[in-house]
Every structure is written in C-alpha cells, then in structure tokens.
C-alpha cells in the first residue's frame, strides 16, 4: 500500500510566500512554482492531489490557470484552493465560478489553512474511493462490468478498427472446489495482472463476472491482436501459483472478433467474440480462436 504523503502544488509569484507555505505544509510533498508555465510542467509529469493558487501572477493569472485546469481531463479532479490578498466579494465569487473549491485570504492563519487543506484532500480521496467502488472491480482492480461497457460504447462509436476479445479461465470451478475461494481469488488477481501488464495503453480490460474477462483493442489489425492475445495466453499458462502442497497452474481460452460494417453495436461485437471463445473451449481450451465474419 502506498503511504507516501499527498502532493501539493503551490503556485505563487512571490518566493517568500512559497517559502512560508512549504514550511507550514511540511507533512506534505510540496512542489512550488512561480508561474503557470512551470505549474503545467509539474502537472505534465507528476500526480498532484491539491493545488494552492495565487490570483495575481505575471503571465497567466490564477483565474485563467484554474479555467485551464478545469478544461483538461487530466487535471479537472484536482481541487484548487485560491490564496490571495484580495478579499472583496466579487473576486471571491469569481474564484468559485472558475472552479476553485475554497478561498483563503492573505495573510492567512496557519491553522485555518492547514484545516482547509486537510478537508479538501479528504474530500478528494473520498470521491476517488467512491469512483473506484462504482467503476473498478474490487478483487482485481481493473474495470468492472459497468465501467467496461461505458468505455466500450465510446470506442465502438469511434473511428478505425476495433477488435474484441472474450476470455475466461479454463476449469476455474475446479480451482475453487479443490483449493477454496481464497486460492481462486488469488488466481483471478494474477491472471488480471498478467493480462494488464501486456496490453497497450489504449486497450480496455474489464472483468465481466466470475472468471470471464473482456478486452477491446482500438485501431489495431486482427493479426497483431491475435499475436498479442496468444502471448498473454502463454504467459498465463507459464504462471506457477505456490500452494502449501505444491504449485498450481492454469490456462485461459480466448475468442477474438473484429468490428465489421454489419456489426450493429458493442453487444453484437462481444457476442461474436464470445462465439469464438466457445469454439476455443470446445476445441481443447488453452487457445485463441479468431472468428472470421464474412464481409
């Protein structure tokens, strides 16, 4: 489990203000910069949990930077606390209008600032936890059925080729029956990890239920996907899961199908892949079958 402190990005054109913030926030990992361009360089390469943002800056003011943060999907969820010497109602109102989550006036009171920082971080982590519960499979950490189909609908409507793979773990019921559900859960996690680390960044992996998984490969030709999935199949077959009485191995069967002009929707595409999976299991398991659909 990651116990590293939350990362806070402090943006203020006055170095002395940044020194005060860094000293005050010593329990956090503080990255301090003096302008918007430097802030974006940090955000492009680091995960940031909270932003403390001054309003008056020489290049882009805090209002504009906050608007940019809200417009970027990568940074939209990062809470922003404005810190400014301006305390008029119009300025404070504008700070919230552009996306700020809180507003602290300078000179700030240290305990108040620390309390507000703590509150915003707790809210952010709570929202992340709620998101994970709604969209991630609790056992494997990959997309759950709901999240997978949300992403799948977007990919299906997109341009380019789309390949779908349905796969499941061969004879998984035997694993649970012989070794117990704790071992079965371990197998599911290891298989999900083995698949996930071998997928390109654009691929979408989800657990649809039980021992059944699905993968979508956007903008990839079938032969390349066939090779990639067979590599995954072999990697799973090579797993050796340690048990008290020895080691356990497992295999997967996979079915691949391509979207065609006649494929009506994502359900139809996954159905074609599921038919190929059925063929793979019926012809001996531990193999990949590509279902060719006539054009």
Residues serving a catalytic function are 211
Do residues 121 and 129 lie in contact, with contact meaning Cβ atoms separated by under 8 Å?
no
Of 5, 53, 61, the C-alpha closest to 32 is 53
The strand pairing partners of 143, in sequence order, are 136, 206
Do residues 213 and 196 lie in contact, with contact meaning Cβ atoms separated by under 8 Å?
no
Do residues 60 and 70 lie in contact, with contact meaning Cβ atoms separated by under 8 Å?
no
List of residues 6+ apart from 27 with CB closer than 8 A: 5
Do residues 4 and 16 lie in contact, with contact meaning Cβ atoms separated by under 8 Å?
no
What is d(CA 218, CA 203) in angstroms, rounded to the nearest whole number? 7
In this structure, the strands spanning 288-290 and 252-258 are parallel
Do residues 194 and 209 lie in contact, with contact meaning Cβ atoms separated by under 8 Å?
no
189: number of Cβ within 10 Å: 15
Instruction: Kindly report the length of the chain.
Output: 295
Do residues 255 and 278 lie in contact, with contact meaning Cβ atoms separated by under 8 Å?
yes
Do residues 54 and 84 lie in contact, with contact meaning Cβ atoms separated by under 8 Å?
yes
Between helices 145-156 and 266-282, what is the axis angle to 10°? 110
């Amino acid at each position: 489990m990651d116990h590293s402190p939350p990362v806070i990005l402090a943006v203020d054109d006055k170095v002395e203000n940044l020194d005060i913030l860094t000293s005050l926030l010593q329990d956090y990992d503080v990255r301090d910069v003096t302008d918007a361009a430097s802030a974006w360089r940090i955000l492009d390469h680091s995960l940031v949990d909270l932003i403390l943002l001054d309003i008056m800056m020489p290049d882009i003011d805090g209002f504009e930077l906050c608007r940019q943060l809200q417009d970027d999907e990568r940074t939209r969820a990062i809470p922003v606390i404005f810190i400014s010497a301006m305390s008029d109602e119009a300025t404070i109102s504008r700070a919230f209008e552009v996306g700020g989550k809180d507003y602290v006036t300078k000179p700030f009171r240290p305990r108040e600032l620390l309390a507000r920082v703590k509150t915003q971080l707790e809210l952010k982590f709570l929202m992340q936890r709620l998101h994970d519960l709604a969209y991630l499979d609790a056992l494997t950490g990959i997309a759950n059925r709901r999240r997978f189909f949300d992403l799948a609908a977007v990919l299906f409507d997109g341009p380019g080729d789309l390949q779908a793979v349905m796969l499941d773990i061969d004879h998984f019921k035997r694993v649970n029956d012989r070794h117990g559900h704790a071992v079965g859960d371990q197998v599911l996690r290891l298989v999900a990890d083995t698949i996930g680390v071998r997928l390109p960044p654009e691929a979408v992996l989800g657990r649809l239920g039980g021992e059944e998984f699905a993968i979508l490969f956007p903008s990839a030709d079938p032969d390349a996907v066939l090779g990639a999935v067979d590599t995954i199949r072999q990697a799973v077959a090579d797993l050796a899961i340690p048990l008290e009485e020895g080691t356990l191995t497992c295999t997967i069967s996979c079915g691949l199908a391509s979207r065609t002009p006649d494929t009506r929707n994502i359900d139809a595409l996954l159905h074609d892949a599921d038919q190929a999976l059925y063929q793979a299991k019926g012809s001996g398991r531990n193999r990949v079958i590509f279902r060719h659909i006539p054009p």
